Amino acid sequence: EAFGSGPPVPPLDERQCFIWSGGETAAVDYLAWYMETGQLSKYRGATESFAHGEDMNPLNSGTRLSPWLAFGCVSARKVVHEAREFERVHGQSSSTGKGSGKMGSTGARLYTELMFRDFLRFSTLSWGTSLFKIGGPFEVKGIQWDYDQEKFAKWCAGETGFPFVDAGMRELVATGYMSHLHRQCCAAFLARDLRLDWRMGAEFFES
């Protein structure tokens, strides 16, 4: 067959906080709901790691638009347009939950995150295949990488003994989803603490 079936889709887990539906209509409908219900005021951004509270931290306060953006179901430009229109009508909210003027509004934060996303995507055009080599595009040298399969298996299964890392990996295995911030932490743990070849983790995330 020209197109394979792809990897098996894990069954839905009752703890899964969100379920995506493919296509432009679903993306546009969700974006409209996101704005109409005021979810933008709760947005913190993937790189804001110091906002606290159950609903106001980056693990729970992303847009969840990333799959639709990745597949072109909705454009970053449209998301920014809707965010600016929301703030024009309803006013601005702090992007950190620490009061007005702290790091700008939630709409401005969302714009910054989308710009950073595109910056990295376009950077891959310049980096080329070096992105997939052990030293990366900056040709890092002098690191003694480990290839311990037992440590890697425990990382994949969320059995490292570090609760925050394990929670993220178990969520990924059970639901196919992990927030950007959680993914950064789990990837950093693999490379910096376990000293495992980062490409092993990258391949697992891609699977």
pLDDT, tens digit, for every residue of 135-150? 999 999 999 999 999 9
117 pLDDT higher than 50: yes
3-state secondary structure of 146: strand
Residue 91's pLDDT is what? 84
Which residues are 105's β-sheet partners? 94
- Report, as an integer, the average pLDDT of 156-180: 91
7 pLDDT higher than 90: no
CB 47 within 8 A of CB 116: yes
Alpha-carbon span 144 to 128, nearest angstrom: 24
* Res. 8 pLDDT band, cuts 50 70 90: low
Residue 101's pLDDT is what? 43
Residue 181's pLDDT is what? 81
Alpha-carbon span 1 to 197, nearest angstrom: 34
User: pTM of the entire structure?
Assistant: 0.78
The fraction of the chain above a pLDDT of 90, given in percent, is: 54
pLDDT, tens digit, for every residue of 9-34? 667 777 777 788 889 999 999 999 99
Residue 114's pLDDT is what? 93
* Res. 60 pLDDT band, cuts 50 70 90: low
Residue 106's pLDDT is what? 86
Nearest partner of 94 among 32, 43, 54, 37, judged by Cα: 43
Residue 14's pLDDT is what? 72
pLDDT, tens digit, for every residue of 174-207? 888 888 888 999 999 999 999 999 999 999 998 8
